[in-house]
């Protein structure tokens, strides 16, 4: 964690540069789609947000597993830090998907498998945040929150393969396929760069939030220790 | 330039998408930065008041 303090400014700067490169490329230089016109540019925001909404949930599930099995305290801190970031990325994915759906499908929203399973992902993140904040001592929330995260992990492959298993308005995967991507390099490159940028931003914000959670827990530990000395009642701390 | 801004007639969908994407991540980063600063300030305030776990141990000696 000490290393993360030195790493963080570089990670944030890299995220900024790579995001800017990917998004400007997508917005200005990438070709418009022969069918979808300029709305295809929404993809350079929508798809990276979706990738990291799901990738974030996978990392939340891994952190929860480590927290449950090995009781590593940092894993619990990581899970607490990841959930809000994942929720924001999922919200971006849903909002931009809606803005893309209206002109291309003629509707903001349909209750089909892909869209509904991503909405479920959003609620899983919100549930994790709510559960984490429902306990006075955050350490006691670790177990139930980790169990929720692991049960919810079933949803991630459902999102991924929803476009193959059910009829949906959403198009099937065109980049993350087992054979070669079905996208021209002029579109693929800015998409991958934007994806990398969003991933770096995700990692930077999670690291920052982990540092915050660690400091907050130290503050709580100090206050609790003082509180015990004061006959179980936490005394108001004099302002310095 | 105005052609670029018009986005082939889809400006009302393309620009808000970029606004939500960039704005959402930027807002989250700013809020997270403020929370980090607030937590650091709180810890510094406690330590300045002599309230650290180490100080408590030293009290007992």
Contact assignment for B29 to A204 by CB distance below 8 Å: yes
Q: What is the pLDDT of residue B32?
A: 96
**What's the confidence (pLDDT) of residue A232?**
44
Token pair in block for residue A25: 């490329």
Mean pLDDT of A12-24: 90
Among the partner-chain residues A85, A212, A222, the one whose CB lies closest to the CB of B46 is A222
Q: Quickly state the pLDDT bin for A230 (edges 50, 70, 90).
A: very low
Would you state the structure tokens that stand for residue A30, as one six-digit string? 């990438």
| Complex confidence, ipTM | 0.84
C-alpha span between B1 and B4 (Å, rounded): 5
Give the start-end residues of each E strand in A135-226. Answer: none
- For A236, nearest residue in chain B (alpha carbons): B46
Q: What local confidence, expressed as pLDDT, does residue A60 receive?
A: 96
Q: What angle do CA A92, A98, A100 make, to 5 degrees?
A: 100
pLDDT tens for A72-131 read 889 999 999 999 999 999 999 999 999 998 888 888 888 888 899 999 999 999 999 999
Q: How far is CA A80 from CA A19, A114, A129, B33, in A?
A: 25, 26, 7, 16
Question: Which 3 state secondary structure label does DSSP give A10?
Answer: helix
Residue A228's pLDDT is 56
pLDDT band at A6 (very low <50, low <70, confident <90, very high): confident
How many Å apart are CA A195 and CA A51, to the nearest integer? 8
CA dist A165 and A113 (Å) reads 9
Model pLDDT, residue A78:
95
B 2-61 → A contacts, CB under 8 A? 4, 7-10, 13-14, 16-18, 20-22, 24-25, 28-29, 32-33, 35-36, 39-40, 42-46, 48-49, 51-53, 56
> A37 forms bridges with which residues in the sheet?
A33
Any idea how long chain A is? Answer: 240
Distance CA A86, CA A103 (A): 27
Best probe of the A interface among B3, B10, B26, B47, by most A CBs < 10 A, is B10
Chain-wide mean pLDDT for chain A? Answer: 87
For residue B44, the chain A residues in CB contact (below 8 A) are 240
A204 pLDDT tier (thresholds 50, 70, 90):
very high
Per-residue pLDDT tens over the stretch A21-75: 888 888 888 888 877 888 889 999 999 999 999 999 999 999 999 999 998 889 9
Of A13-22, A43-52, A177-186, B50-59, minimum mean pLDDT range: B50-59
Residue carrying structure tokens 């789609």: A33
* Vertex A150: Cα angle to A146 and A154 (nearest 5): 160
Tokens of A214: 């660690």
Q: How confident is the model at residue A237 (pLDDT cuts 50, 70, 90)?
A: low
Return the residue of B nearest to A210 by Cα: B36
> How high is the pLDDT of residue B51?
64
Per CB-CB distance under 8 Å, the chain B contacts of A27 are 14, 18
The pLDDT value given to residue A233: 46
**C-alpha distance across the termini of chain A, in Å:** 28
Q: Closest-CA residue in chain A for B51?
A: A222
Per-residue pLDDT tens over the stretch B9-44: 888 888 999 999 999 999 999 999 999 999 999 999
């Amino acid at each position: 964690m000490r290393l993360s303090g030195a790493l963080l400014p570089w990670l944030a700067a890299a995220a900024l540069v790579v995001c800017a490169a990917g998004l400007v490329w997508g917005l200005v230089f990438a070709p418009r789609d022969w069918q979808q016109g300029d709305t295809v540019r929404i993809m350079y925001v929508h798809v990276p947000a979706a990738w990291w909404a799901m990738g974030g949930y996978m990392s939340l599930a891994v952190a929860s597993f480590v927290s449950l099995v090995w009781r590593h305290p940092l894993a619990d801190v990581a899970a607490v830090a990841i959930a809000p970031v994942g929720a924001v990325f999922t919200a971006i994915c849903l909002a931009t998907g809606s803005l893309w759906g209206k002109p291309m499908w003629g509707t903001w929203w349909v209750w089909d498998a892909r869209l509904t399973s991503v909405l479920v992902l959003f609620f899983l993140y919100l549930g994790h945040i709510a559960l984490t904040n429902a306990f006075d001592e955050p350490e006691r929330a670790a177990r139930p929150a980790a169990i929720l995260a692991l049960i919810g992990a079933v949803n991630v492959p459902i999102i991924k393969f929803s476009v193959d298993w059910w009829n949906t308005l959403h198009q099937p995967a065109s980049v993350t396929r087992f054979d070669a991507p079905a996208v021209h390099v002029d579109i693929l490159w800015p998409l991958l760069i934007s994806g990398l940028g969003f991933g770096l931003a995700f990692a930077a914000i999670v690291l920052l939030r982990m540092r915050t959670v660690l400091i907050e827990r130290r503050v709580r530990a100090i206050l609790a220790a003082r509180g015990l000395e004061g006959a179980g009642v936490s005394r108001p701390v004099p302002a310095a | 330039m105005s052609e670029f801004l018009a986005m082939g007639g889809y400006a009302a969908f393309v620009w808000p998408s970029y606004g939500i994407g960039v704005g959402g991540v930027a807002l989250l980063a700013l809020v997270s930065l403020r929370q980090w600063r607030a937590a650091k300030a709180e810890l510094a305030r406690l330590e300045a008041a002599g309230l650290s776990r180490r100080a408590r141990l030293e009290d007992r000696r």
